[in-house]
Structure 1
Amino acid sequence: MVKDISADGLRGLAAANVLLCHLFLAFLPGGFAYIYPDTTTPGAMQGVVDHVIAFPPLSVLWNGQFAVCIFFVLSGYVLTKSFLDTGDLGIFRLRASRRYLRLGVPIFGAVMFAWLVMRMGWSHAAEAGRLSGSTWIADFWKEPHDLAEALRDGTYRTILGGWSHFNPTLWTMKIELLGSMFVFAYRSLNLSGRRGGLGFLLAVAGLAWFFPHDWPYYAAFLAGSHVGEARLTTSRPLLAAAMVVAVVCGGFDVSPWYDWTRILPLADNERKAFFNVLGGVLLLYVVRCGVLDRVLQSRPAQFMGRISYAFYLVHLPILLSFSAWFFVIMSERFALDPVAAAMLTVPATFAMVIAAAVVFDRSFDRWGILLAQRVFPAPRTRVKTVSVVLGSAGVRRRVRYLRRRPAERQARRSGG
């Protein structure tokens, strides 16, 4: 299997998108009056910066929900790529058995990290929210820092229940786990042609029935798996059109720009998720066709791709502590305008989160991979003895060699 390094780069940029979204929500909330209307009101937009942040074509760069949908689409694509290359269902069995530990160990570390920050009293979220006017950041960490609660959140409640009192951005982890299992089961049917199209529609209908609010997220995994087998194109007009539609869908908000989307009989949150997923599918297809390779295969993008999971897991506790403290210091002690304070807080936060993510990637993330491999090892190698003729004398020797099963070979190459 050839690794898709452009997909890794896309994952890295999506992780940066999430952090940028949360920074703007915390310190420049007026710009999110249409992207996340629950956190502010249209009347809160003041000044040029807020209007630039809210501008739909640009907002795709910091629309965190679009980035999350890209994660889900990428998971469906990456988790099924080996199967599409080899046709070996053993890959699904191995990855499904390891999935809980692979995701869960880093989740436990992230929750305990958040608990430690709360326990040490390092949160400055309320102060920062008062200065920036963000109700979003001010609502965090109002519950007591109970260790037993943190242990429950870290071991099972976050990944199975989809919520954490200590690191609420981990609501995506339940969807990541269930979506992985759904796509494994779905692709195991191995339907093709007309049956494949009908199977996809029936699967999405089933998801909509059982998950009436979150079905677009789960459907993203199924759609992402099909991107891996889609016929690629070199047509520039077609790729340009797909890119434009991806940007339009990725920048979805509730502003008048998107009133035309109300033809779909969906609630606002479902419509946003639907269009964000559609944008993520189109963006991944464009990337697979070679567009943006120069950017996505660059060293910074590849570095971000390698630490993207750790980056996502640790960013919120750092934002609520270090970033909020930095913003308060810039605003009060140095008497800077809130916009100027926010603009200084952004690069400082990125530097801090990257440093923490590198440490986290080399500890909890790696431990999750190793533990999953230890508990659920790949099928053992089979030893086969054959007789071969060596040399002109025709001397027969019995030679033993190892033949690994395809599932084991793929698991070793992909690390999971």
Structure 2
Amino acid sequence: MPRRRNRERLHALDGLRGVAAFIVVLHHLLLVAQPVAQPSGEPALWSVWWWLERTPLKLLTAGHEAVLVFFVLSGAVVVLPALRRIDFSWPGLVASRVVRLLLPAWAAIAFATILLVIVPRLPAQVTGGSWLARQVQSDWSWPRLVVQLSLMGQVVPYDNVLWTLKWEFLFSLLLPGFLVVAVVLRRWWLPTGLLAVGLGVAGTVGHIQPLEYLPVFFLGTLIAVRLQAIERWSESRGAKRVLVVVLVVSLLVLIGEFLLAPVVRMGTDGSHALIGLEALGAAGIVVCAGAATGLRRFLEHRVPQFLGRISFSLYLVHLPVIATLAFALGDWNWPIVAAVGLPLALLTGWAFFRFVEKPLHKVARSAKRGASRAVERYIRSSRAA
């Protein structure tokens, strides 16, 4: 029974990852529309943009916040195999993560470059000063492409979403230390978690990116260490009501920066502090996805599970598709970009998963075994010498 419950909860986390990836797609479609359709200044009360930006409907397009959910999920899911096996191979994990993250990212950059060459991106096709004009690559060169392939820069304009992989790699390297701290402090999970959130807030306010993002992964690691306790508690009387409250509060905290924008002006230290607190909301949502029956059932439905399977591929390739359409049609045609771009991004994500990411899973498993055996042979030979 416990083993079956663990599998169910992991399926729910897959569904949550899929929903988060879909939200990132909607976020970028909204960015295409904003410079043309959104009036300048604070949205007028009861207007369409007020509903989209100042109410819980913002959850549908909260892209950066969905990325924080990704980070918490990575912190939880990646560490679970290490908690189940005493002889877990850390070299094997690093090798596997390099293959599963780096090779699909390179393929996505190649895909984005091909679209960039085939469909010229003329600046006149997008609004000056908009996100598309400032952040999305409109031309290319070999030296710049080589730099982008490292994924270690602040931005990756060939495929902007790839900035997150830098932190995924760093987390993979720091995971043993994260796990030790989480295990040692598991009984004091609440102050430990709040300390991690506090560090994230300090990093956001102080613009220190390692402090801004790495504690978010640690929150996921802490959830993984406490997973059995969370499962046991979720089956107790009254837990469901508490989890409903936790879920609602977590969702509101996740978009607190937008809900409180009329009071706490965006760009101020107070606004940055609210952004730092979003990690707490992301962690709460992940906990509820693994424990709350209603949310878990929704995330285990066919559509979230499909999105979960292709989530990484969808995340990697949707932006080049949307950007290409926006430059080809003009961002003033954003309704057509959205109507065509959303299904085309889903189709492209599925194809990328089927023909690129899925075959690389086997390569990652081989790399994991190879790295583990190589380290074992080296240790044995060193002892023999």
1:12 equivalent to 2:8? Answer no
Summarize the Cα distance change of 1:206–1:142 in structure 2 as closer, same or farther, 3 Å threshold.
closer
- Who is 1:37 aligned against? none
Summarize the Cα distance change of 1:257–1:240 in structure 2 as closer, same or farther, 3 Å threshold.
farther
- Who is 1:236 aligned against? 240
- Who is 1:64 aligned against? 63
Please, which moves more after superposition, 300-309 or 316-325? 316-325
Q: Structure 1 residue aligned with 2:306, among 303, 308, 311?
A: 303
- Match of 1:284, as an amino acid? V
- Match of 2:97, as an amino acid? R
Counterpart contact for 1:28–1:342, Cα < 8 Å: no
Please, which moves more after superposition, 93-102 or 69-78? 93-102
For residues 17 and 76 of structure 2, what CA distance do their matches in structure 1 show? 12
How far is 1:178 from its partner?
0.9
- Who is 1:113 aligned against? 111
Counterpart contact for 2:156–2:163, Cα < 8 Å: yes
For residues 273 and 26 of structure 2, what CA distance do their matches in structure 1 show? 23
For residues 192 and 33 of structure 2, what CA distance do their matches in structure 1 show? 45
- Who is 2:50 aligned against? 51
- Who is 1:100 aligned against? 98
- Match of 2:23, as an amino acid? N
- Match of 2:111, as an amino acid? F
1:351 equivalent to 2:343? Answer yes
Q: What secondary structure sits across from 1:276 in the alignment?
A: helix
- Match of 1:19, as an amino acid? V
- Match of 1:70, as an amino acid? V
Q: Structure 1 residue aligned with 2:156, among 159, 164, 177?
A: 164
For residues 145 and 359 of structure 2, what CA distance do their matches in structure 1 show? 20
For residues 223 and 281 of structure 2, what CA distance do their matches in structure 1 show? 13
How far is 1:135 from its partner?
1.1
- Who is 2:356 aligned against? 364
For residues 144 and 45 of structure 1, what CA distance do their matches in structure 2 show? 37
Looking at secondary structure, tell me which structure has more helix per residue.
2
Summarize the Cα distance change of 1:53–1:200 in structure 2 as closer, same or farther, 3 Å threshold.
closer
- Match of 2:301, as an amino acid? S
Q: Structure 2 residue aligned with 1:227, among 223, 227, 245?
A: 223
**How do 1:281-300 residues align onto structure 2 when only pairs under 5 Å count?**
281-289=283-291, 290-300=293-303
- For each residue in 1:319-339, what CA deviation from the matched residue of structure 2 results, as whole angstroms up to 9, or x when unmatched? 1112453566xx6xxxxxxxx
Q: Structure 2 residue aligned with 1:191, among 179, 184, 203?
A: 184
- Who is 1:313 aligned against? 316
For residues 184 and 367 of structure 1, what CA distance do their matches in structure 2 show? 28
For residues 300 and 47 of structure 2, what CA distance do their matches in structure 1 show? 34
Summarize the Cα distance change of 1:191–1:93 in structure 2 as closer, same or farther, 3 Å threshold.
farther
- For each residue in 1:305-332, what CA deviation from the matched residue of structure 2 results, as whole angstroms up to 9, or x when unmatched? 011111011111111112453566xx6x
Q: Structure 1 residue aligned with 2:174, among 166, 169, 182?
A: 182
How far is 1:61 from its partner?
1.7
Give the total of aligned pairs.
Answer: 352
Name the larger-Rg structure. Answer: 1
For residues 18 and 78 of structure 2, what CA distance do their matches in structure 1 show? 17
For residues 277 and 269 of structure 1, what CA distance do their matches in structure 2 show? 14
Summarize the Cα distance change of 1:46–1:349 in structure 2 as closer, same or farther, 3 Å threshold.
farther
For residues 81 and 61 of structure 1, what CA distance do their matches in structure 2 show? 29
- Match of 1:173, as an amino acid? L
Counterpart contact for 2:17–2:311, Cα < 8 Å: yes
Percent identity of the aligned residues? 23
How far is 1:213 from its partner?
3.5
TM-score (norm 2): 0.79
For residues 270 and 195 of structure 2, what CA distance do their matches in structure 1 show? 24
Counterpart contact for 1:30–1:44, Cα < 8 Å: no
Counterpart contact for 1:311–1:357, Cα < 8 Å: yes
- Who is 2:144 aligned against? 149
- Who is 1:385 aligned against? none
**RMSD of the TM alignment (CA)?**
3.3
TM-score (norm 1): 0.74
1:212 equivalent to 2:208? Answer yes
Counterpart contact for 1:75–1:180, Cα < 8 Å: no
Q: Which has the higher contact order (CA 8 A, sep 6+)?
A: 2
Unpaired segments of 5 or more residues in structure 2?
Answer: 374-385
